[in-house]
Amino acid sequence: MPQINSDTNFVNIKVLHLSKFFPPFRGGIETVVYELTEGFNHRGITTDVLCSNSIRKNEQEITASGYKVTRSASLFQLLSTSISPAYIYFAKKLCGQYNIIHVHLPNPMAALAMWLVRPNAKVIVHWHSDIVNQKKAMVFYQPLQNWLLKRADAIIATSQAYLDASHALALN
């Protein structure tokens, strides 16, 4: 595996994280995306975020660390998913500017956006958890999820134990 050191030049790498939400919204995925984005930018890897907003308003901000966070307006929440057509609009607008798209799952809006936009970039799927509470919704979401897992250039699981126990990852 290649080693990263302080002399490594990441000038041509641009990463876009697709997340459900982003701080100040609190959650495990949001914390991971925040820490990765801060860390990558600190190392010189241009890294930005596309996420849903908790309100019906599109917002873009440049953080104190200098990266861009695009928050797409949410119409409502359905089965723990922010319904945001603007997410797809921003994914189409932004994905072509990055050579790595880092998708944090589960996130039905991100999976749908990836399927509709079909970016040419490398795709990394960060697998945070299987969907366990909304089993009926899986009838609709599972084909998108499976397509994205097969499309991914790399899949990162949150732990080896989780990787070994994940039903969805075992299928792909």
User: Which is nearest to 106 in space by CA: 85, 122, 82?
Assistant: 82
Mean per-residue pLDDT over the chain, rounded: 88
Judge whether residue 136 has pLDDT over 70.
no
On whether the 14-171 domain is CATH 3.40.50.2000, my answer is yes
pTM score over 0.85? yes
User: Which is nearest to 105 in space by CA: 33, 54, 24, 53?
Assistant: 33
3-state DSSP assignment of residue 47: strand
The predicted-structure confidence for 14-54, as pLDDT tens digits, reads as follows: 999 999 999 999 899 999 999 999 999 999 999 999 999 98
Q: What is the CA radius of gyration of the chain?
A: 16
Q: Say which amino acid occupies 70.
A: T
Q: Around 50, how many Cα atoms within 13 Å sit in the side-chain half-sphere?
A: 27
Q: Residue 2's pLDDT is what?
A: 44
The predicted-structure confidence for 91-134, as pLDDT tens digits, reads as follows: 999 999 999 999 999 899 999 999 999 999 999 999 998 776 66
3-state DSSP assignment of residue 96: helix
Judge whether residue 156 has pLDDT over 70.
yes
